[in-house]
Amino acid sequence: MTSLVSRSQAGGTTIASGAADCSINIWERNTCEAKFQLLQSITFGSGFVFGVDLYCLYGHLMLACGTETGKVEVHVKQGKEVGL
């Protein structure tokens, strides 16, 4: 099972994909480049990632993800890293 979501902003496009291997990969593409590059990989100890969503709140890119553990985690982009 894989979840995929993307958001476009003035600087480019960001894609987050969640997978059954307990991880979320965050990909980014500048408006000048034709290919995506892996920005960060977030690994959870256990639990499938069932859903991901990217959204912008007050100019900050945020990632929400739900796992089979029943938790919803929210991560905020700070510089090039997405963290709690």
Q: What pLDDT score does 1 carry?
A: 44
Least Cα distance to 76 among 67, 63, 66 occurs for 63
- pLDDT exceeds cutoff 70 at 5: no
Query: Taking Cα atoms as reference points, which of 64, 42, 67, 40 lies closest to residue 54?
Result: 64
Question: Cβ–Cβ contacts within 10 Å for residue 53, how many?
Answer: 16
At position 64, the amino acid (one-letter code) is A
At 22, list the tokens. 């307990």
**Tell me: the pLDDT tens digits for 15-67?**
888 887 888 888 888 777 778 889 888 887 777 888 888 888 887 888 888 88
pLDDT band, residue 4 (cuts 50/70/90)? low
